[in-house]
């Protein structure tokens, strides 16, 4: 266990999934034994270790050293210059950090350019749904994930949730960009920077009295199991909802959407033996790592209120009851109750009846000439506006923290 005790862990993360005083008796202690087999992974094999006890051995010691040396301000300033996948790393980075980043920026050998191209076609046609699901679906679902809610709340980003959400939203935006993993894209940069942030918070969060008091006995935040919970709240949850909404998705597009998220998990530091190779395997893992841990926390309730207020601020035409109703329609009653969403007896039946009709209407138009391109243009404009609003007109820089949330 020596090696385990030296490792530090991972914390903030998940495409708009941002985010007390409960006792140590949290759902984490009721987590079922790990039974998912590595034969179901993209690697096809592995040690079969419980990911609850596996972290990021490559990133963690490097970022701990960067923080302990006081290098964070200088590194953040240098990394603001690194924005495209094909750019060289900025000169002047500490040698240990540069060596790690050069390795971390390489795509896995199993990355399939054809499937990544299919993911682009999926995004062109279905991006409006995944955009909504990443925000009012996965974003709110994250507040019902106790460890994620507490990690976000007590880390530095929890003190300025609008800024925190903007930086989280950047990952969701970049993975849906048509150039995501192309040389001119930004997804590799976003993944590597996010991985650096995770490792930094792993080093910092155990020093937070608020986090240690509410961690349910977890001494190092966000294991690989926790990272995969966040992954499922985006990828697997998204595909499940598309099926629930009867959105037609071709096999090639479905495979492409899965693959872009498989690559992203690898780029975020998840070991290949924990990345599902198929949607069937993803659903199997989801049932083991996500379903049992969804629960209510004070931190989750607080973050839910912040998220919903930001949505209301984004569009004055969206009333809080309407937001509550659509959010509950998206995440379901179990999560809705856990995060304190009000039940809306007027809006909920209306949305339940109207949304499938809107989906059917939109999907009926998509086959017409030029419609996919026109739809993509409009949806891309909306996504850019949302990021601009969240960032208050400033560039969104994913930066390494050097402290926790102020008391």
Local mean pLDDT, 10-residue blocks, the chain (407 residues): 29 28 34 91 95 94 97 97 97 98 98 95 86 83 90 77 67 83 95 95 89 81 90 96 94 97 98 98 96 91 84 69 88 93 90 86 65 49 46 67 82
Task: Kindly list the domain boundaries of the chain, sorted by start residue.
Answer: 114-184+204-390
Residue 299: phi and psi, rounded to 5, are -65, -40
Q: Which two tokens stand for residue 374?
A: 């026109």
- Give yes or no for a contact between 401 and 204, defined as CB atoms under 8 angstroms apart: yes
Residues 6+ apart with CB under 8 A from 355: 245, 326, 329
CA distance 50 to 390: 37
CA distance 193 to 76: 10
Centre a 10 Å sphere on the Cβ of residue 39 and count the other Cβ atoms it contains.
13
pLDDT at res. 34:
92
Give how far the C-alpha of residue 306 lies from the chain's centroid of Cα atoms, to the nearest Å: 18
pLDDT at res. 317:
58
Closest to 126 (Cα-Cα) out of 234, 229, 250, 280 = 250
Angle at 19 between CA 14 and CA 21, to 5 degrees: 150
Helix (H, G, I), strand (E, B) or coil at 41: strand
- Give yes or no for a contact between 360 and 347, defined as CB atoms under 8 angstroms apart: no
CA distance 375 to 54: 42
Q: How many CA atoms lie within 13 A of 82 on its CB side?
A: 27
Closest to 302 (Cα-Cα) out of 208, 206, 161 = 161
CA distance 334 to 224: 25
CA distance 66 to 81: 19
- Give yes or no for a contact between 127 and 362, defined as CB atoms under 8 angstroms apart: no
Closest to 197 (Cα-Cα) out of 401, 406, 43 = 401
Buried b (16+ CB within 10 A) or exposed e, 93-112: bbeebeebbeebbeeeeebb
Query: Considering all CA atoms of the chain, what is the largest pairwise distance in Å, rounded to the nearest integer?
Result: 62
pLDDT at res. 97:
98
**Residue that the structure tokens 């749904």 belong to:** 129
- Give yes or no for a contact between 339 and 296, defined as CB atoms under 8 angstroms apart: yes
Q: How far separated are the first and last CA of the chain, in Å rounded? A: 32
The partner residues of 9 in beta bridges, in order of sequence, read 202
pLDDT at res. 279:
98
Whole-structure pTM value: 0.85
Q: Which two tokens stand for residue 33?
A: 């034994």
């Amino acid at each position: 266990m020596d090696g385990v005790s030296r490792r530090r862990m991972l914390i903030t993360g998940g495409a708009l999934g941002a985010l007390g005083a409960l006792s140590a008796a949290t759902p984490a202690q009721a987590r079922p034994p790990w039974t998912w087999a590595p034969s179901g992974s993209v690697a096809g094999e592995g040690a079969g270790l419980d990911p609850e006890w596996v972290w990021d051995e490559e990133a963690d010691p490097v970022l701990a050293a960067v923080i302990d040396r006081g290098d964070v301000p200088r590194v953040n300033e240098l990394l603001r210059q690194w924005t495209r996948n094909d750019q060289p790393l900025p000169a002047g980075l500490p040698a240990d950090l540069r060596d790690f980043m050069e390795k971390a920026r390489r795509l896995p050998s199993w990355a399939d350019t054809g499937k990544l191209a299919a993911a682009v076609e999926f995004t062109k046609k279905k991006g409006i749904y995944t955009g909504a699901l990443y925000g009012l679906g996965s974003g709110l679902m994250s507040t019902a994930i106790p460890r994620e809610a507490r990690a976000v709340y007590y880390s530095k980003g929890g003190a300025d949730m609008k800024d925190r959400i903007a930086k989280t939203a950047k990952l969701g935006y970049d993975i849906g960009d048509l150039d995501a993993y192309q040389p001119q894209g930004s997804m590799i940069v976003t993944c590597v920077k996010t991985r650096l942030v995770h490792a930094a918070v792993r080093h910092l969060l155990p020093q937070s009295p608020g986090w240690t008091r509410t961690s349910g006995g977890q001494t190092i935040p966000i294991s690989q199991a926790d990272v995969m919970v966040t992954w499922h709240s985006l990828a697997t949850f998204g595909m499940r909802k598309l099926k629930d909404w009867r959105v037609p998705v071709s096999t090639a597009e479905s495979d492409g959407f899965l693959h872009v998220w498989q690559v992203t998990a690898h780029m975020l530091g998840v070991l290949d033996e924990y990345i599902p190779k198929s949607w069937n395997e993803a659903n199997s893992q989801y049932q083991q790592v996500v379903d049992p841990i969804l629960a209510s926390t004070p931190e989750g309730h607080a973050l839910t209120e912040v998220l919903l207020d930001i949505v209301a601020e984004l569009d004055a035409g969206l009333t809080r009851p309407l937001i509550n109703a659509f959010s509950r329609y998206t995440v379901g009653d179990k999560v809705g109750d856990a995060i304190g969403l009000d039940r809306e007896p007027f809006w909920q039946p209306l949305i339940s009846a109207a949304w499938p009709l809107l989906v059917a209407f939109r999907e009926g138009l998509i086959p017409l000439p030029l419609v996919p391109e026109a739809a993509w243009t409009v949806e891309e404009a909306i996504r850019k506006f949302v990021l601009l609003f969240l960032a208050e007109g400033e560039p969104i820089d994913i930066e390494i923290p050097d402290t926790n949330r102020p008391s």
